[in-house]
Structure 1
């Protein structure tokens, strides 16, 4: 777990508010179009290398799921590779590889995305493939029955046999009462066991439409030629009436919550999650989300950050520290701190040390030099990201899916630059309190002899 400051490119220098502009961060290089069927196209021209990243983002993730059908967004991601009337099952990946490209897909709480990265002359070929499965996915029940077993095994490996996964899953289900963020993206095992091919087809028919999709293309391209190609391939898809999205607002938490998870593990773990605000579209002036991002970096943004220095190096009460916060998202947000106990140390000791570090910031604040150091470090980290064709596409797409415009990114960066140590102190004091806190503890259990023998083999 780590801060998602890296979601944004913090190209700002202390000497000038506009010194962070780079070739990949020039609005004149980025073009936005809207097709007649509702599909949004964003093209960023970057001619430094003859490659192109092609991504299709659907604004449909686990946040759109309902009880009894959790995990269906991720299952459909798998099924999208199972063929159309023109492309047989398994052929999609083979055809991308045949033109020297790489491809994959991923599902999150907020969206599902598919991508290919190819040499620029091969863009039309992968665009044609992706546009085909936007409208013409066609898989049979037998393919579904095979693939759902793959997904269930993925859940076993990532969650049920993974103490970290079990703790995080229980923490989310405890912290959230009504928000679908309480569901695991991969779904509950019982829902996967009872899922039918018709559930995946219904999801596809409901959400996979051009008016619920954003195509992002970055790299060595001519925007006008890209628009013509996108209209040719994607423009034939028909818009749909999308399901009504219910707000499902999270009730105000009125006291500390705790959950304990017993699982085979070497060391105990502690996770602390506070309800905190996020940035809202159209309200970019709110300083609190920016201050929370910087607070995450103060605590865990570099090797000698406060929690790592105090808990790992000095007190040696934990082996590692992680801090996480998403400033932008479709649902409610948490400020997370996760630690793994050192041998002979207890979760009570770790919780006490974390509280002491947080109280120190709430009481005495942080140094101006400390905040400047963090910003400069972020700058150096992000130059490499902006140098990546794929990284630029990821930044644009994830921002759009959260309900913001790619144009907002630079505004966010400028707002971030203005945050003061006093504002960081203020959010620590206001939000990292017990009334909005959920605590998860992993109680390590000794592995059964059969599991130990299996591990040796």
Structure 2
């Protein structure tokens, strides 16, 4: 692993080279595309293999295009619940043995659920790849958990919800922000599910979710590391290739209707300081129109506001005006569903939410009016480039980048062109998206009003 001093030195060198007009640095971020191979098995499973021979390790990931956005009312949280149940055994592997076997190989494994997907991974020594592929293929087709296992695990999930959301003010704030911002898309539901749905979930809900979505024709397998792609393909044919494709449920579009005015929600919960969250509806990358500049300009806008320690929001509101303890901006341009541009802040002692909101609006107004300089934007672009270089030093990071893009409909072949498009964005384009999208008509504001510790839980108020 690189030391922080070395990483800082590489970044400074990149900055100096780019600002001096040295352009070939972009190529250093790009892996040789000849080392990435894509296959489609007869049953519909997509296999992507990234060959990287720098270390004798392999990352093996299975991505299912089934996340919380595919859930229906009354069954929210089932995608995440099934993620837990996938470790509870098959016809040939006892409950808990999957993890034990990977550990015995000297590997690590886990899983995660998002709005867009559910993914499972193992990172192992290269000679163990065939074994984990057969294990993962087995539970893709032969999951076999009993009602008693489900009864125990659903309690674990409900406790996870209590710890991460119900007993955490920031979690409640985010949850209510999403539920207020969206009214049609399932993005309005929490990934972990509403507590009432978890309390009423039954084992067959999880089994039906498994039958609906866990099929080879709804999965992408990504393998990165010290491998021979053709040998990996042969192993995939011998493991995943034996499974049959299944008819998948029809996905309804559930298009979010246009927002016609600002929204606001107040959340009352035990906390030490007030918090403010502002979220604007914005576009994400359309795989059919990947050349359109707006998503790339929005990503750079987020970085201009919060891409480094002395970025605009932190400099103005934390260091100078001291109205915030922390301030963050974020935006994800790769996703299956509608996206939000977020600004989240905690109010400094002695200051008010109104002062923080006014400060944020002032920073945005200045950017919309005066724009940004070419030098400021170039520094941000080189930071993004450097970040990509560091991430691609990781075998696991390469697999993550490919898998998350593929699930959103963006081909791995587009990852480097996307990086090029980020580098091509102009200051005028950043200013243009700020003016177009960061407006009150598409804005949702969530405010946390702190309550004394131990106070009874109070409902939120939306208007």
Q: Please classify the TM superposition score into its range, dividing by the shorter chain length.
A: over 0.9
Aligned to 1:380: 386
CA contact (8 A) 2:30 2:416 kept: no
Compute the displacement of 1:22 (Å).
4.2
Q: How many residues align?
A: 442
Aligned to 1:326: 332
Where do 1:194-205 residues align within 5 Å?
194-205=200-211
CA contact (8 A) 1:38 1:239 kept: yes
Where do 1:218-297 residues align within 5 Å?
218-297=224-303
Query: For the structure 1 residues 17 and 179, does the alpha-carbon distance in structure 2 shift closer, same or farther, using more than 3 Å as the test?
Result: farther
Where do 1:74-223 residues align within 5 Å?
74-223=80-229
Compute the displacement of 1:379 (Å).
2.5
Aligned to 1:436: 442
Query: For the structure 1 residues 282 and 78, does the alpha-carbon distance in structure 2 shift closer, same or farther, using more than 3 Å as the test?
Result: same
Aligned to 1:311: 317
SS at 1:86's partner residue? coil
Return the alpha-carbon distance in structure 2 between the equivalents of residues 126 and 288 of structure 1: 41
CA contact (8 A) 2:274 2:347 kept: yes
CA contact (8 A) 1:173 1:182 kept: yes
Compute the displacement of 1:414 (Å).
1.2
Query: For the structure 1 residues 313 and 182, does the alpha-carbon distance in structure 2 shift closer, same or farther, using more than 3 Å as the test?
Result: same
Compute the displacement of 1:20 (Å).
2.3
CA contact (8 A) 1:24 1:392 kept: no
Query: For the structure 1 residues 23 and 416, does the alpha-carbon distance in structure 2 shift closer, same or farther, using more than 3 Å as the test?
Result: closer
CA contact (8 A) 1:17 1:414 kept: no
CA contact (8 A) 1:82 1:88 kept: yes
**5+ residue gaps, structure 1:** 1-9, 452-457
Return the alpha-carbon distance in structure 2 between the equivalents of residues 336 and 49 of structure 1: 38
Query: For the structure 1 residues 450 and 168, does the alpha-carbon distance in structure 2 shift closer, same or farther, using more than 3 Å as the test?
Result: closer
Aligned to 2:4: none
Compute the displacement of 1:384 (Å).
1.7
Q: Deviations over 1:353-385 (max 9, x none)?
A: 000000001111001110011112222333221
SS at 1:145's partner residue? helix
Compute the displacement of 1:282 (Å).
1.8
Provide the TM-score with structure 1 as the length reference. 0.95
Return the alpha-carbon distance in structure 1 between the equivalents of residues 227 and 383 of structure 2: 32
Task: Choose 367-376 or 175-184, whichever is displaced more.
Answer: 367-376
Query: For the structure 1 residues 134 and 243, does the alpha-carbon distance in structure 2 shift closer, same or farther, using more than 3 Å as the test?
Result: same
Task: Choose 281-290 or 305-314, whichever is displaced more.
Answer: 281-290
Return the alpha-carbon distance in structure 1 between the equivalents of residues 385 and 73 of structure 2: 42
Compute the displacement of 1:344 (Å).
1.0
Compute the displacement of 1:450 (Å).
11
**5+ residue gaps, structure 2:** 1-10, 458-463
Return the alpha-carbon distance in structure 1 between the equivalents of residues 235 and 382 of structure 2: 41
Q: Deviations over 1:283-337 (max 9, x none)?
A: 0111111000000000000000000000000001000011110101000010000
CA contact (8 A) 1:84 1:136 kept: yes
Where do 1:31-46 residues align within 5 Å?
31-46=37-52
Structure 1 residue aligned with 2:27, among 9, 18, 21?
21
Structure 2 residue aligned with 1:411, among 408, 411, 417?
417
Give the superposed CA RMSD: 1.6
SS at 1:296's partner residue? helix
Task: Choose 414-423 or 371-380, whichever is displaced more.
Answer: 371-380
Query: For the structure 1 residues 305 and 44, does the alpha-carbon distance in structure 2 shift closer, same or farther, using more than 3 Å as the test?
Result: same
CA contact (8 A) 1:24 1:46 kept: no
Compute the displacement of 1:413 (Å).
1.1
Structure 2 residue aligned with 1:394, among 384, 389, 400?
400
SS at 1:94's partner residue? helix
Return the alpha-carbon distance in structure 2 between the equivalents of residues 64 and 448 of structure 1: 36
Return the alpha-carbon distance in structure 2 between the equivalents of residues 260 and 334 of structure 1: 19
Where do 4+ consecutive residues of structure 1 move more than 3 Å?
10-19
SS at 2:143's partner residue? coil
